[in-house]
Amino acid sequence: MKNNQTRKIALLAVITALSIVLGNFFKIPTPTGFLTLLDAGIYFTAFYFGRKEGALVGGLSGLLIDLVAGYPQWMVFSLICHGLQGYFAGFTGKQRYIGLLLAGLAMVGGYALFGSILSGPGAAIAAIWGNVMQNIFGLVVGYALYRAFPLVLKRALQPE
């Protein structure tokens, strides 16, 4: 059991690191900014592992990408927004759709709230559409990855 738990922690660390790297370096330009793969790693983790792990990867990757990208004023806010996003996205069963709605609301609404504190309400309102698109893009890519890689991860978590 301990060996499996160690593997799981290591795998979550790798997913967090990949989310940060892909989120920081793979950017798709849009009229209001850019889309990244940060949210894809959060959704993938939440779908595969569940709420706690989704919150962990979401919070850590959001916090660390802001540190690496040069936006330290957003670190705590990203920890909260992406942590809640990962937690809610990890809901299962009949609660899955409610969880996905809450995940998007936590990310988009959280950034709107915190953006109004840091930059003013005008800038926060202008950023809402970009955050909605970021959330949808991450959800679609994260779900596609979840459907594509289930056997690879199950094998990685099995003890030798």
Judged against a pLDDT cut of 70, whether residue 155 lies above it is answered with no
Contacts of 22 (CB under 8 A, 6+ apart): 36, 37, 38, 40, 41
Please give the pLDDT value at position 83: 97
In single-letter form, the type of residue at position 143 comes to: Y
pLDDT 10s digits, 130-148? 899 999 999 999 999 998 8
Share the mean pLDDT of the chain. Answer: 89
Confidence bin at 69 (pLDDT 50/70/90): confident
Phi, psi of 29 (to 5 degrees): -65, 140
0.75 exceeded by pTM? yes
pLDDT score at 85: 97
Q: Rounded distance, CA 112 to CA 27, Å?
A: 21
Name every residue whose Cβ is closer than 8 Å to that of residue 89 and which is 6 or more positions away in sequence: 42, 43, 46, 47, 54, 58, 99, 100, 103, 139
Taking the domain 1-155, which CATH number applies?
1.10.1760.20
Residue 20's pLDDT band, with cuts at 50, 70 and 90, is: very high
Name the maximum alpha-carbon separation found in the chain: 55
